[in-house]
Every structure is written in structure tokens, then in C-alpha cells.
Amino acid sequence: FDATRRWGFKAFTVYNHMYMPLWFESPLADYWKLVNDVTLWDVGVERQVEIAGPDALRFTQLLTPRDLSNCAVGQCKYVLLCDENGGIVNDPLLLRVAEDRFWLSIADSDVLLWARGIALNAGLDVTISEPDVSPLAVQGPKADELAARVFGEGVRELRFFRFGHFDFQGHPLLVARSGWSKQGGFEIYLDRPELGLALWDALMAAGRDLEVGPGCPNLIERIEGGLLSYGNDMTRDNDPLEAGLARYCHLDRETGCLGLEALRRVAAEGPARLIRGLRLEME
Ligand code: THG
């Protein structure tokens, strides 16, 4: 955050009770830098909600209609969290960091309280917490080159939605091939707050000839890419089927989850409304 201030963000919003930059030069100039070069995003506001313990898989599976049985350690999945009516509570990126430990990298709503509340009466052996882990996204067509310069050539081998650990100044950092743009890139899950400035400065220095610049989730690019923003495009008043996210719901499953009956009803009747993208062809 201090680095983004130093690099001069022009506006910010509040996301998960924290400040998140909205643009640097201008939304349009930032868009072109993201699409042509590479940008660093402080997305530390995407907090991790950690679910750990012997019943971590069973409990996490209770929170989302997406089937997690085939989720390997080292894999990410985009998941919807639903309430008992099928309403979307959040749409985090899930990381299976260990056999019995998941991180939900959350959008803007209070998942820690939601999950801890559900755990009270679930009768499952889990511990739910918020580790101090702050993602830094590296997004844009030159992201592979930049990441390889800082983390080594091995980072290029990461497949989409997979993560590994890569050395930074003697400390292994979790690096995933993911990010909230369609330009490609990585997210570095910084678990050492004291290394934040060093990490930002190292990436900026290594990418000078790549024209690296500061950035943040870009409204123009993510709408063009069809990425939905929780709290803006959809809220708890929408279910995943009407949000066009049915492909992330497995309703024929045997294990129960919150909202399953409601979603099955919507699937049988067909959603009453649909959130759709619209392409305007300009002359
Ligand atoms: N990174 C991290 N946390 C996050 C986001 C992120 N938390 C909030 C928000 N973004 C979660 N929302 C999304 C939405 C879409 C994607 C990622 C996070 C995404 N979707 C791919 C797509 O649509 O092409 C693929 C999804 C899939 O096939 O599973 O990447 O960005 N840490």
C-alpha cells in the first residue's frame, strides 16, 4: 500500500474494509498499460480466509455448490459461496494449499464471519482464521518475462490456476498463475508484510525496460473480459444460475451444500432473469 501511494494512485475505494487503488494515470491509460505491457496491482484487499483441520474439505464443500473432490494441492478454483436461498455471498478464488487446508481469496464481503458462524453448528473439526497474506498481482502480456526475472525461469512452467513456491530473498513465496484480468499473469501471495516494499521495488526495477507500471483491477478490461464483480454486477439477490455462472455449480452431487435445494429448483424452472454481456459494435 505504501508503494502504491508512492507511485501515485489517483483514487481508491474501500474493499474488505481496506483501501484499494482505483487508477493511477487514468482508467484509459492504465488499460493500455495492462493490455500492452505489464502492471503491478496491490490486491492485498483480497483477504485469505483459511479453513484448516481434518474436516477442511467437508466444510469447504458445504460452503460452495462447486465440486471440490478433484481439487489437487497446488490448484486454484473459482467458487461461489451461496446462502440457503442460493444467493451469492461471495465469489472467491479457492486455493488448496495443503491436503487439509484451503484459502478462500475473497471478494468484498465478510466471509470470515459467515464461515465462522456456519462452523458453530456444523459439527466439523475445522479452524477458520484470516492469515496476514496479501496478494500482489502481476498482469499483462509481459508478466511471464517479468516474473521469470525475479523468481527464475521455473515460474513460466506454471499452468493456469496452479501455484508453486518460488524464492524471493531467501523466502519461499506462493505464486499462482491467476489474476482478475484476461491479459495473463500471476498473483504472489505475500505472507511477510515486511517484504512488501522490497517485492514491489524488485519487480519495478527488473521490469523497467518492459515498461512495467503500477495498476489495479481495471474496469474497462474486466468488463471486456466478462469478469463479474461481486457487489456491483451481482449481490446476494442473485443466484449463480441467473448470474450466468452455472458452470461453477454441480447440482447433481451427493454431498449437501448451502443453497443446494434452492438452486436445484431454479435449475428445474429456469432462472427468471439473466445477467448477460452486451457487445456494442461502433461504426
Ligand atoms: N484473485 C484473488 N482473489 C480474488 C480475485 C482474484 N478474489 C475476488 C475476485 N478476484 C474473485 N473473482 C474472480 C472471478 C474470476 C476469476 C478469478 C476471480 C477468473 N476466472 C477465469 C475466467 O473467467 O476465465 C477462470 C475461472 C475458471 O475456469 O475456474 O480468473 O482475481 N486472489
> What pLDDT shows up at residue 283?
84
Distance 179 CA to ligand 1 centre (A): 6
For the segment 34-61, the average pLDDT, to the nearest whole number, is 98
Nearest of 270, 231, 267 to residue 89 by alpha carbon: 231
pTM of the model: 0.97
Q: Ligand 1, residue 229: give the atom nearest the CA.
A: 12
For the segment 15-32, the average pLDDT, to the nearest whole number, is 97
Q: Ligand 1, residue 187: give the atom nearest the CA.
A: 32
Q: Which of 180, 181, 187, 188 to mutate to test the pocket of ligand 1 (most atoms within 8 A of CB)?
A: 180
Minimum CA distance residue for ligand 1 atom 28 = 78
Distance 227 CA to ligand 1 centre (A): 8
What is the rounded CA–CA span in Å between residue 4 and residue 133?
A: 17
What is the rounded CA–CA span in Å between residue 59 and residue 130?
A: 16
Q: Each residue of 254-268: pLDDT tens digit?
A: 889 999 999 999 999
Q: Each residue of 78-115: pLDDT tens digit?
A: 999 999 999 999 999 999 999 999 999 999 999 999 99
The grid coordinates listed for 199 are 517485492
Answer for the pair 20, 12: CB distance below 8 angstroms, yes or no.
Answer: yes
